[in-house]
Amino acid sequence: MVKELGLGVGLAVVIFLAAQGINLLPVLLLGGIGYYLFNVIDKKSLGKKLSIGSGDKSMIPEVDFSDIGGQDAAKQELLEALNFVKSKQQIKDLGIRPLKGLLLSGPPGTGKTLMAKAAANYIDSVFISTSGSEFIEMYAGVGAKRVRKLFKEAREKAKKSDKNNAIIFIDEIDVLGSKRGQNSSHMEYDQTLNQLLTELDGISVDDQVNVLVIGATNRIDILDKALLRPGRFDRVVKVDLPDKEGREHILKIHTRNKPLATEVDLTQLAKETFRFSGAQLENLTNEAAIMALREEADQISSEHFREAIDKVMMGEKLNRKPKEEELHRIACHETGHALIGELVNPKSVSNITITSRGKALGYVRHNPQDDYYLQTIDYLQDQIAVLIAGSIVEEELLGSRSTGANNDFKKANQLAEKIVFSGMSKLGVVSKNNLPKSKLHETVSEIIEYQEERVTEKIKANKEFISAIAEELLETESITGDEFRTRLEMNKTKEVA
């Protein structure tokens, strides 16, 4: 209607001006260009395809909460919130305001998108998925208009499919919802966020279609406070990295359709995948299956999983082959890490290799027996000892150190600083802002020097053992933690005898 009226008025103006003898060619040219640009912007920007489910029962995400492992606390909190959505009449009778938004916060790959899909399945809802980056354009007003269109389409989809609920899932909501006033060049970011806040405020318990917005982010610290206040995103659900039991549950889910050899121990695999996300664990099982396929094996063995862990952590094997002299140095270096690692934390070494992967010429994989969330002074000092052990072995056995320990020393310094700023050094409780750099350097150096003395003593006492393991690594390229421990026990028995 508006377009027809505008067209009529425009035509009348053109006829009037033509009757007055005015040259209309420049006006028509500019008008045509303006009309073309308006339509291009409108179609390209507002017509950008959102990932929207059809609303049919078959198109509701076929993801159930039972398909998500390692997030029991997050699932419980989310289910409790979703039960409010399912019991609409009951919450209305009790005078409870509707749940408008849920925020899933956690590291990448922990299952935030899966949880949003499972939520749609649980409340029998249409599911509209988009990303925060899809709302931000250089054109003023486009993002806000896209937000309005998104909510309108959610309601229309729900009505069309005869559903009472609609879920709008916004991944990377930090792009859309970051603190206002940070982008001084233009106000498009702020306008888009303002529109989202307006739409959230407009959700009512009396609405025919109950719209629930679920956002996902790993940068909750940069979100605008107005977005997080009660009445908008009412619940913040922490979706963290899974613990050992959670990792085992996830591994069971992703190996249900895979033929495993009888010796595969998922409990042990869960121990060896400390700080793996759900996505990494899925990738681990997939890589192990690919390796079995390459070898034309009928089942996936423990060796396939062991190789897959290294690949997920470090990357694919590289073709580069260091010279024999360099390989010997690498073997000695990694043996030093493994020896001190096993002495300070028995049964922690999982694998030693001098195979190049990613940026590493060789490495030792350490796996704690249990997940620790607090670090004591003894633990941090032991970790520093393990890190500097490689370079000390090089110095004691080969007469000099190399640049291969650069990253080790960087991490050792970071741990030493953590000791200082956690109030566990001789300085006591200190402020990071007020502590002079010279004093920090002096204290960090003392912490590391003490560990160097401690490690040097142990290395000197085990020179022959380190040389023997290094020679074995040059032949086999890799030694498992169990093999290493067996050799270490034999060496201890030999010394006692």
Task: Give the tens place of pLDDT for each residue, 87-137.
Answer: 777 877 777 777 888 999 999 989 899 999 999 889 888 999 888 878 766
Residue 283 confidence (pLDDT) above 90 = yes
Q: Considering 261, 293, 314, which residue would you say is the last residue of a domain?
A: 314
Whole-number pLDDT of residue 196: 87
Q: Considering 238, 270, 302, which residue would you say is the last residue of a domain?
A: 238
Residue 3, domain member (yes or no): no
Residue 173 confidence (pLDDT) above 80 = yes
Average confidence score pLDDT of the chain: 83
229-240 per-position pLDDT tens digit: 888 888 889 999
CATH of the domain at 126: 3.40.50.300
Q: What is the mean pLDDT of residues 440-456?
A: 96
pLDDT band at 54 (very low <50, low <70, confident <90, very high): very low
Structure tokens given for 311? 């690949």
Whole-number pLDDT of residue 188: 60
62 is known as an active-site residue: no
Q: What is the mean pLDDT of residues 260-270?
A: 92
| Best mean pLDDT range from 53-57, 138-142, 339-343, 432-436 | 339-343
Q: What is the mean pLDDT of residues 5-25?
A: 61
CATH of the domain at 259: 1.10.8.60
Residue 46 confidence (pLDDT) above 50 = no
Domain containing 410: what range?
324-496
The answer to whether residues 150 and 187 belong to one domain is yes
Order across the sheet with 363-366: list the strands: 363-366, 349-353, 478-480
Catalytic residue among 334, 394, 452, 472: 334
The answer to whether residues 106 and 162 belong to one domain is yes
Residue 394 confidence (pLDDT) above 50 = yes
State the total domains in the chain: 4
Q: Considering 238, 259, 274, which residue would you say is the last residue of a domain?
A: 238
Structure tokens given for 90? 């009951």
Residue 49 confidence (pLDDT) above 50 = no
The answer to whether residues 20 and 72 belong to one domain is no
The answer to whether residues 458 and 336 belong to one domain is yes
Whole-number pLDDT of residue 135: 76
The answer to whether residues 86 and 59 belong to one domain is yes
Structure pTM?
0.75
Specify the range with the lowest mean pLDDT, choosing from 206-215, 324-333, 385-394.
206-215
